[in-house]
Amino acid sequence: MTGASSSCGACKFLRRRCTPDCTFTPYFSYEQAASHFSAVHRVFGASNVSKMLLRLPLHSRGDAAAMICYEALARVHDPVYGCIAHIFALQQQVAVLKEEIETIEMQMASARSLDPLAPTQISAHVSVNQTSCPNEMEQNAVQKLLQDIHQDYYLYQPE
Amino acid sequence: MTGASSSCGACKFLRRRCTPDCTFTPYFSYEQAASHFSAVHRVFGASNVSKMLLRLPLHSRGDAAAMICYEALARVHDPVYGCIAHIFALQQQVAVLKEEIETIEMQMASARSLDPLAPTQISAHVSVNQTSCPNEMEQNAVQKLLQDIHQDYYLYQPE
């Protein structure tokens, strides 16, 4: 099913005739043409995406198309960081959660060593949903990650 | 500086003359031609990347080139999930850490209600580095996230 038209979203966007063996038809609906496929075409290029999908076995193409679409939309939304912004945010969230666990462990160890009969001194309240960082910490984390990526891939920093 | 040659990595890979105003020169070294720029060209296409960089202010282009390079290398490494595999792994890590915090909180609450004088019953050991999930949990998380992405973008699941 490709919506109201017999063209898929990709062919509608590319203004070409949609053939029965069109690579995109199963993964891009007619309705997605304006938003999704335009992002995919702008970021990856229709020809590159077609080649990437055709290199994969049929059963993997749906997932690959979804991931490519996600990456493309993320890059249109954030032209510098794209979906890596999501990776940065999650890495920060992991760091904050690990810190929370370490804090509880230290509080528990400290409470036991100072006063083994007073478990109520342990602050048990840990806000699981509190994952935002102060701006400075956030910026430092982003800078550190950027340095790692630059270093990993031996990219030159523009002067 | 672009390595031993006066060409940057992109122009070396594309076998074209590198001009002083080449968009890629500050971000792709001569040595990266085979590995990095070939991935960037294969996944995004040189022309698309050039356009994406030129749309950005100069001070953002270094970061954007690093992110594009990261995404391209990740997609060559994992042609189905690309760098979204990293997002899945981090989402799982966040879920496991949240679960660990909830477990500690429940243990603490339970220990206090059952025996307020026995803080040593609280299992304080939480392995901060233990973030791997059982295979089943991992697969379920990936399936759930895939469903979310498919749903978010209204992508058709191939039959």
User: What secondary structure does DSSP assign to A63-96, as a single string?
Assistant: HHHHHHHHHHHHHHHSTTTTTHHHHHHHHHHHHH
Residue B131 banded pLDDT, cuts 50, 70, 90: very low
Of B124 and A106, which is predicted with more confidence?
A106
CA distance A111 to A107: 6
Residue A43, min C-alpha distance to chain B (Å)? 6
Which of B53, B77, B108, B121 best probes binding to A when mutated, by most A CB atoms within 10 angstroms?
A: B108
Residue A144 banded pLDDT, cuts 50, 70, 90: low
pLDDT of residue B128: 37
A98 Cβ partners below 8 Å, 6+ apart?
B97, B128
pLDDT of residue A111: 74
Measure the N-to-C terminal CA separation of chain B; round to a whole number of Å: 52
- Please tell me whether the interface predicted TM-score (ipTM) of this complex is above 0.90: no
pLDDT of residue A129: 38
| Per-residue pLDDT tens over the stretch A36-65 | 899 999 999 999 999 999 999 999 999 999
A72 pLDDT higher than 60: yes
Which tokens sit at A25?
A: 């038809």
Which tokens sit at B105?
A: 């909180």
pLDDT of residue B145: 54
Are the Cβ atoms of A87 and B87 closer than 8 angstroms?
yes
C-beta atoms surrounding A123 within 10 Å: 12
Comparing alpha-carbon positions, the chain A residue that sits nearest to B115 is A119
SS3 content of chain B, % helix, strand, coil (to 5): 65, 0, 35
pLDDT of residue B63: 92
Of A78 and A33, which is predicted with more confidence?
A78
Q: E strand or H helix at B54, and its extent?
A: helix B46-54
Nearest residue, CB atoms, B86 vs list A80, A87, A109: A87
CA distance A118 to B111: 12
B46 pLDDT higher than 70: yes
A154 pLDDT higher than 70: no
Residue A64, min C-alpha distance to chain B (Å)? 4
Comparing alpha-carbon positions, the chain B residue that sits nearest to A78 is B64
Are the Cβ atoms of A69 and B155 closer than 8 angstroms?
yes
Of A156 and A108, which is predicted with more confidence?
A108
Are the Cβ atoms of A108 and B122 closer than 8 angstroms?
yes
pLDDT of residue B107: 81
Q: Mean of the pLDDT values across residues B70-93?
A: 94
Of A77 and A108, which is predicted with more confidence?
A77
Of B157 and B89, which is predicted with more confidence?
B89
CA distance A19 to B112: 68
B126 pLDDT higher than 50: no
| Per-residue pLDDT tens over the stretch A92-129 | 999 999 999 998 888 878 777 776 655 544 443 444 33
Residue A87, min C-alpha distance to chain B (Å)? 6
CA distance B21 to A159: 15
pLDDT of residue A107: 81
Does the global pTM surpass 0.80?
Answer: no
| Per-residue pLDDT tens over the stretch A10-35 | 999 999 999 999 999 988 887 777 77
A73 Cβ partners below 8 Å, 6+ apart?
A35, A36, A39, B153
